[in-house]
Amino acid sequence: EVQLLESGGGMVQPGGSLRLSCAASGFNFNGYAMSWVRQAPGKGLEWVSGISVSGDTTYYADSVKGRFTISRDNSKNTLNLQMNSLRAEDTALYYCAKAVFSTGLFDNWGQGTLVTVSS
């Protein structure tokens, strides 16, 4: 059974940083692209960032480009998201999502970790 367990969320002041992690199990992690998708309270889904199988190619939404960095450690089955220069509009539940091979189609999602940016 595929399991994705996010961690690292919390409350941070504007301008601060957080590092999210996603521990993956139940599948061959180094065979699939991964992404982060967020959902602001009461709002819809927004794709944030994606990373290729090997980790050598990364993609970002314009809203986070230059502030967020996605990475993966295939030896530890872990996906990460380093978030810097956080803004109030980054407040959201952040989901880790497993892609169908190297596509942007997401067949498994974690339960999410909540990030709150507030002074």
Using CB under 8 A, list all residues that contact another protein. Answer: 35, 37, 44-47, 50, 59-62, 95, 100, 103-107, 109-112
Q: Tell me which residue has tokens 């997401």.
A: 106
Tokens of 22: 């996603």
Kindly state the smallest distance separating residue 111's Cβ from another protein, in Å.
Answer: 6
Closer residue to another protein in complex, CB, 14/111? 111
CA distance 6 to 96: 7
**Rounded distance between C-alpha atoms, residue 99 and residue 107, angstroms:** 6
In the bound complex, what is the minimum distance in angstroms from residue 13's beta carbon to another protein?
27
Can you tell me the distance from the alpha carbon of 6 to that of 94, in angstroms, rounded to the nearest whole number? Answer: 8
Tell me whether residue 66 or residue 75 sits nearer to another protein (CB atom).
66
Q: Which is nearer to another protein, 52 or 84 (CB)?
A: 52
